[in-house]
Amino acid sequence: MLRKTSSAEIVYGITSHTQDSASAARLLAYNRDHWGIENALHWRRDAVFAEDRSPVRKGFGPQNMAAIRNLAIGLLGMVVRTLSKKVDFPSLLRHHARSWRHVFSLLGL
């Protein structure tokens, strides 16, 4: 039989909010929103583009590759917003990797 365990964590932070406007619930919501965005972007960069396995490690290569990946994520995000149906990001990437000119035509470029 498995026992349920629980834990608590104390976190300290600095904010510009006043004590009246910085309730625990509000600060938790800000923190979760931030990490939700951060985790979604990191997942795309790591799982879809395999960024952590990249052999590019020296000079400006990693920064340039990150910029190219961010450009691809941004362009495909724009394509997803133009479509009327929900699309799986990895499959959209695979589809448009074969014909990158199609992405620009969808965006009117």
In a domain, 10, yes or no: no
pLDDT (mean) for 82-95? 77
Whether residue 1 has pLDDT greater than 70:
no
Whether residue 88 is contained in a domain is answered as yes
Domain that holds residue 101: 24-106
Nearest Cα to Cα of residue 80 among 103, 105, 51, 48 = 103
pTM tops 0.75, yes or no: no
In-domain check, residue 16: no
pLDDT digits (tens, 9 = 90+) for 29-79: 888 887 777 777 788 888 888 888 889 999 999 999 989 888 888 887 787
Our count of domains for the chain comes to 1
* Domain-located, residue 11: no
Q: Is there a domain that residue 76 lies in?
A: yes
Question: Is residue 104's pLDDT more than 80?
Answer: no
The answer to the question of residue 1 being in a domain is: no
User: 3-class secondary structure for 58-79?
Assistant: CCCHHHHHHHHHHHHHHHHHHH
